[in-house]
Amino acid sequence: MIRVLLVDDHALIRVGFRLVLESAGGIEVVGEAGDGRAALEQTAALRPDVVLMDVRMPRLDGIGATRRLVEAAPGVRVLILTTFDLDEYAFAALRAGASGFLLKDAAPADLVGAVRTVAGGEAVVSPRVTRRMLELFAHRLPAPGEAPRPDGLDPRLAELTPRELEVLHRLAGARSNAEIAAELFLSEATVKTHVARVLAKLGVRDRVHAVVLAYETGLVRPTLG
């Protein structure tokens, strides 16, 4: 069973999500919270697999709650509820550690699928969408410096080999494993191994968070039009 905590300051929304999720099978709603602070308390007490988190709430908003939650309970996945797919809140949520975002008017099947996806360790947003969001809201990133050099890597990239840096750069360009394999003249199996090592060394949850880190470190520069 996938254990889910619902966090939204509107009780009717929580009721609707509960009905959808519990009718799907294999998902149990273990608790509810009406604000970010209550979400942290409920997460500590109930240890859900997935937290379905609203953004705009009293006492502590969803972005702040997500940041604290992923630090305190790294095994818990956060799925953010948002109104627009390319807005500042969704972007801020990804940087805070959320595993994806979902539109509030999503179809029931999409809600169920998103919960199952993040529970399985994947992100509910493609690296391509993440890249676009980073370009739209690049002003919120640290100012990128010169391209990383072997003698001057950001500490977060220092453990990567030259080949792994190449792979990370292409991940940030929203390349698939097949595209990376073609560009670097490698097999897809080898690329998959490199990607797994990159994620492990960087301590990031998935490809989406690797993209965010690549921009934050200046490995990739936003291309604003």
The H-or-E segment that residue 133 falls in is helix 127-136
- The residues spanned by each domain of the chain are 2-125, 136-216
Do domains 2-125 and 136-216 share one topology? The answer is no
pTM for the complete prediction? 0.79
Q: Which fold has domain 2-125?
A: Rossmann fold (3.40.50)
Residue % of the chain over a pLDDT of 70: 91
CATH number belonging to domain 136-216:
1.10.10.10
Looking at the predicted structure, is the pLDDT value of residue 162 above 70? yes
User: Rounded distance, CA 18 to CA 4, Å?
Assistant: 9
pLDDT, mean over the chain = 86
Give me the percent of the chain exceeding a pLDDT of 90. Answer: 52
- Is residue 21 within 8 A of residue 30, CB to CB? The reply is no
- pLDDT value at residue 142: 58
d(CA 90, CA 97): 11
